[in-house]
Amino acid sequence: MTRARVVITGLGGICSLGRNADEIWANMKAGHDGSGPLPIEPRDLKVGMVYPLMDRLEEDGIDPRRKVAMGEFSRLSVISARQAMAQAGLSAGDFDELRAGAVIGTGIYGADAVDESYRDILEHGKKRTHILTVPRAMPGAPAGQVSMDLGLRGPVFGVTSACTSGNHALVSAVDQIRLGRADVMLAGGTDTPIQYGILKAWEALRVLARTKCRPFSANRDGLMLGEGAAVAVIESYEHAKARGATILAEILGSGLSGDAADIVTPTVEGPTQAIRNCLADAGLASDAIDYINAHGTGTQANDKTETKAIRAALGTAADSVSVSSTKSMHGHCLGGSSAIEMIACIGAIRDGVIPPTINYEAEDPDCDLDVTPNDAREREVRVAISNAFAFGGTNAVLAFGKV
């Protein structure tokens, strides 16, 4: 049986690089560094630089009565979803609401709501937290809030798998369409980890960079956290064509795997298998890949392991593929990262431009791929893949193609 083709017709996003998908992509091409000073009271935090939102968009048009029940990660999801729907040319009445849904991934939870509850009780002496702390914080809230805002009554659920959450959400949304459960899905990822409790926890892991995020550079010393969200409108090809939609890209296939090894230390075999599974699912040869948006966190372990995995999966074709880590520009947004990186993949396909890995200073023989150092490069991109590998050994790779 021939499976349904699935396409992307709208994109939305908000992060340190921009207030919408077009701004984010323009700043990626320009090699803009979205890092900045910590936007919260530092207290005893050692971290100084993060990737905060370019603009919090407080005038977001969301009904204040609904927003009072939203954590910030849900609000960013709703903003992104509205943008994606606008670009897709969809509004209420344009689709069957019973066959439209939302899957939003998050790596943690609504950390702002949890931090607020601790401050209320421990600092301000209150007897209880905000009455809506649970719906503000729960990981499934962004998907639910998107569905309520847009009137989506089909499959609606959250996905959480650490830093692969965005890609897992996209894969799950594609599955709903291919299984015949939906015609239209809103899918993406979100996280807002620039909160005291989360930053203290990441400091304890000793993986945060001291000054800059330098993926694949020999002098890299860790990752830097960012906040943000991105959402795509995903449709069956037939549904998009029938309504005359502009198709941005096709989702050609996906590959999932588990390391089954260590909760924080990545293996080569797990990511390799995810890439291979993606190529097999998409029916692509290894030399068909033009661009890889790498997971590229800037840690010693990830970048070296990912290089080995790409070489193991692609063989000699790895020497001719363009690679970059856009986390050098927007930071590691945890569950939001791979959704934001989807914008990079689709932009590369549509504009024929490879976004750079900025802050690259020194070659590392263990990271010997063409990592597009510091400056964007023009190149025809027919197929791009996006890698996402996470704590827990969860791996998810997506392939996007030109239509």
State residue 92's pLDDT score.
Answer: 86
- The number of folded domains in the chain is 2
| Secondary structure of residue 338 in the 3-state scheme | helix
Q: Select from 197, 220, 242 the last residue of a domain.
A: 242
Answer yes or no: do 181 and 269 share one domain: no
The partner residues of 180 in beta bridges, in order of sequence, read none
| Percentage of the residues of the chain whose pLDDT score is greater than 70 | 100
Q: Specify if 206 maps to a domain.
A: yes
Answer yes or no: do 108 and 174 share one domain: yes
What is the set of active-site residues? Answer: 163, 295, 332
Answer yes or no: do 339 and 363 share one domain: yes
Q: Specify if 77 maps to a domain.
A: yes
Answer yes or no: do 258 and 397 share one domain: yes
- Alpha-carbon distance of 327 to 312, in angstroms, equals 23
Answer yes or no: do 93 and 163 share one domain: yes
Q: Select from 198, 219, 242 the last residue of a domain.
A: 242
Answer whether residue 137 shows pLDDT above 70.
yes
CB distance 355 to 347 below 8 Å: yes
Q: 240: buried, middle or exposed (CB in 10 Å: 19+, 13-18, 0-12)?
A: buried
Answer yes or no: do 43 and 156 share one domain: yes
Answer yes or no: do 195 and 266 share one domain: no
Answer yes or no: do 87 and 190 share one domain: yes
> How far from chain centre, in Å, is Cα 364?
26
- Alpha-carbon distance of 245 to 249, in angstroms, equals 12
Q: What is the DSSP letter of 318?
A: G
Q: What is the mean pLDDT of residues 257-270?
A: 97
Q: Select from 242, 274, 292 the last residue of a domain.
A: 242
Answer yes or no: do 369 and 310 share one domain: yes
Q: Specify if 100 maps to a domain.
A: yes
- 72-131 pLDDT, tens digit per residue, is 999 999 999 999 999 999 998 899 999 999 999 999 999 999 999 999 999 999 999 999
Residue 397 sits in a domain whose CATH number is: 3.40.47.10
Q: Specify if 21 maps to a domain.
A: yes
Distances (CA, A) of 199 to 40, 50, 52, 171: 11, 10, 13, 29
The pLDDT mean for the chain works out to 97
Q: Specify if 247 maps to a domain.
A: no
Q: Specify if 120 maps to a domain.
A: yes
Answer yes or no: do 258 and 212 share one domain: no
Q: Specify if 201 maps to a domain.
A: yes
- Alpha-carbon distance of 18 to 26, in angstroms, equals 9
Containing structural domain, residue 296 = 254-401
Answer yes or no: do 72 and 208 share one domain: yes
Torsion of CA 16, 19, 22, 23, to 10 degrees: -50
- 359-395 pLDDT, tens digit per residue, is 999 999 999 999 999 999 999 999 999 999 999 999 9
Across the beta sheet with 291-293, the strand order is 156-159, 100-105, 184-191, 228-236, 6-14, 249-258, 394-401, 383-390, 291-293, 322-324
Torsion of CA 161, 165, 167, 173, to 10 degrees: 100
CB distance 232 to 188 below 8 Å: yes
Q: Assign 2 a pLDDT band (cuts: 50, 70, 90).
A: confident
Which residue in 225, 252, 385 sits closest to 306, CA to CA?
A: 385
Answer yes or no: do 293 and 397 share one domain: yes
State residue 1's pLDDT score.
Answer: 61
Which residue in 107, 87, 71 sits closest to 297, CA to CA?
A: 107
The partner residues of 334 in beta bridges, in order of sequence, read none
Q: Specify if 1 maps to a domain.
A: no
